Chain A
Amino acid sequence: MIEVRNLRKAFRNIQAVEDVSFVARDGEVTGLIGPNGAGKTTTLRILYTILQPDAGSATIDGLDSIADRRAVQRRIGVLPDSRGLYSRLTAREHVRYFGRLHGLGGADLESRIVDLIAELGMEEFADRRTKGFSKGQTMKVALARCLVHKPHNVLFDEPTNGLDVASSRAMRALIRRIRDEGRCVLLSSHIMGEVQALCDRIVVMGHGRIVAEGTADELRRQTGKTDLEDVFVSFQGGRQRDPASEKEAVHA
């Protein structure tokens, strides 16, 4: 379970995240949605321990992302914003490297890698160096290395970004599988259709704040719109027509 409480984070004079609170429960897919610059990636980065919040707290299974950083890192699998690979290592070596960094090793690790390669359909390129990999292949390697330690909580930043239809589908299937195992999934996206198809709960962000939260149906009811895309636009539009809060967001 992932819990965020009154999170704040500023970079120089830009308030990236302002008083953000939400919960992502086990056995559910929670979607952070919002336009570029809404604060989704910053929120995720605080959760996956790369950034420190200015105020508020982020906890994973009750563990604090700062105080219990190492324990949190053991319980999360992250597809971060940047997902670069090492061009001179093979796909398998990538997964092995991250497995070892998680303290795994020996036959256990090797069989886990074999399982992951099968699960993600990587057999064809598992022992090829990653130089020249397609976006889909790169994504699979990044997924395999972040899931090697069977994390209970999974944080994916824009998981289908840049993927073709087939790869996006495979990604959605994987996310559902993880959810159905009772694990906690938190993902970010700016594509409404994807969130609608995938997420049990939706957290809408804009200008560093949470502007709405609930299931897709709840959000529809709140706005009176049937299409989630319209729902999304209505929240964003609402904010843009509100110069007072905009000013506050910038100067806070």
Chain B
Amino acid sequence: MLDGALTVFRKEVLDNIRDKRTVLLGLVYPLIGPLLLGALIMFVGNMVVQPSAREKRLWMEGAEHAPALVEHLKSNGVTIEEPTEDPELLVRTGKIPLVLVVPPDYETLVAGDRTARVKMIVDPSRLGSIVAIGRTLDLVQQYNRILSKERFARLRLDPEIAEVIKVETVSVAGGRAIASIFLNMLPPFLIFTVFIGGVYLAIDTTAGERERGSLEPLLINPVPRWQLMLGKFGASLVFTAVAVAAALFAYKLMFHMVVLADVGIKVNPGVGTFVMIFVLALPIMAFAVALQVIVATITRSFKETQTYLGLLPLVPSLPGMIMVFAPVTGKLWMMAIPTLGQTVLFGALMRGDPVDPLHAAVAVLSTLTISIALLAAAAHFYEHEQVAFPA
């Protein structure tokens, strides 16, 4: 019954496997996401989570005015350095993250039970500076508490008198606070791969075939046009699925390597997570390819098709990009929207959060239903006279 579709499918797969450029691009594109994310984790991980020796340096101006403070800092493993140029300039140009400035009257004020002011020169527009602020504040306040305790002790007072509120932070993210941001980046990257993996094939087998003048002879064969369309759709779907599988494999490998590299971000979602993501991604692959076939059918030229389909992946990736910084809790209505539901589900799976089976089922069924409707529309457009001849 589907002999025609199967024949077209086999021909398109063979034809396009022989196209070295398509195959190469199809396998290189999916690696871009994992490579970028891996580099980002290595870079940021190094900076944020495990400050190396370089990061434990502190630049101080006027260190000689506060020998006791310097001693305290050194005992915490900090190396004190003196800025060689104008401190503000050094910080502004990003050469060093922070300078602690001790005024000449520091020692006198401290000895006289007064308040000594130290300045922190920072640039919060730089991640390195933000990290240094936190660390330096901690160290200085730690020292501050020691000194005030001594003062209170001398006055025979309880130090708690001065401490009205003490804040204790309870982080529920555990050690994964930073890690989850990286995990959240996978969904938009993956959605992008879904929309780019087989796009060349979808364009080439419809708009390209029309432009090369081989569509007219093909349409004369005694095969219903919807079957011709289905065969081409199937071939594009297989190429998309291979690209997505390659991307997921690369992500798994990347996380594995990041953990081995020990940059302090311990994230390594299991194989089962990736298999689950692949299965949930299948309906959006059908959705994406059906859309591509429709666009390639109704546009007039290969170039025009390329323009539209080059922009298309940005739209479904956008919600995921926002969710990197503002993850949302999955709501049932979201699951009904193709790509949005999957973005939420992928994020939850990556973070290891529980996934409601009802949500997963709604996402799969809704996207599948919409994909079938799109396929029906594509079949309808294939029946048009204009399919064979660009207007």
Residues of A bordering B, CB below 8 Å: 48-52, 70-71, 73-74, 76, 78, 80-86, 88-89, 93, 97-98, 100-103, 129, 142, 145-146
Contacts and interface: CB of A to CB of B under 8 A. Distances in A.
B221 A82 contact: no
Interface in B296-328: none
A146 B217 contact: yes
28 contacts: A50-B216, A50-B219, A50-B220, A50-B385, A50-B388, A51-B385, A52-B385, A71-B222, A73-B221, A76-B220, A80-B217, A80-B220, A81-B216, A82-B217, A83-B213, A83-B214, A85-B214, A86-B11, A86-B214, A88-B15, A88-B19, A93-B14, A98-B221, A100-B3, A100-B7, A101-B218, A146-B217, A146-B220
Interface of B: 3-4, 7-8, 11, 14-16, 18-19, 209, 212-224, 385, 388
B222 A102 contact: yes
A103 B222 contact: yes
Contact of B214 (A49, A82, A146): A82
Contacts of A93: 11, 14
Taking each of B19, B218, B224, which has the highest tally of chain A beta carbons within 10 Å of its own beta carbon?
B218
A216 B18 CA distance: 50
Contacts of A71: 222
B286 to A, nearest CB: 24
Contacts, number: 74
B385 to A, nearest CB: 6
Please report whether the interface of chain B is mostly helix, strand, loop or mixed according to DSSP. helix
Given A86-B214, A93-B11, 18 more contacts: A49-B220, A50-B220, A73-B222, A80-B220, A83-B213, A84-B212, A84-B214, A84-B217, A85-B214, A86-B11, A86-B15, A89-B11, A89-B14, A89-B15, A98-B217, A102-B221, A142-B217, A146-B217
B86 to A, nearest CB: 65
Contacts of B209: 84
9 A-B pairs closest in CB distance: A84-B213, A82-B213, A84-B214, A73-B222, A101-B221, A84-B212, A88-B18, A100-B7, A82-B216
A175 to B, nearest CB: 18
A70 B388 CA distance: 17
B388 A101 contact: no
A101 B223 contact: yes
Contacts of A73: 220-222
Contacts of A50: 216, 219-220, 385, 388
Contacts of A146: 217, 220
A94 to B, nearest CB: 9
A98 B209 CA distance: 15
Contacts of B221: 73, 98, 101-102
A76 B220 CA distance: 9
Nearest to A100: B7
A93 B18 CA distance: 13
Contacts of B224: 70
Contact of A101 (B214, B216, B222): B222
Nearest to B209: A84
B4 A101 contact: yes
A103 B221 CA distance: 10
Contacts of A82: 213-217, 388
A71 to B, nearest CB: 8
A101 B14 CA distance: 16
A158 to B, nearest CB: 13
B18 A101 contact: no
Contacts of B15: 86, 88-89
A155 B212 CA distance: 21
Contacts of B385: 50-52
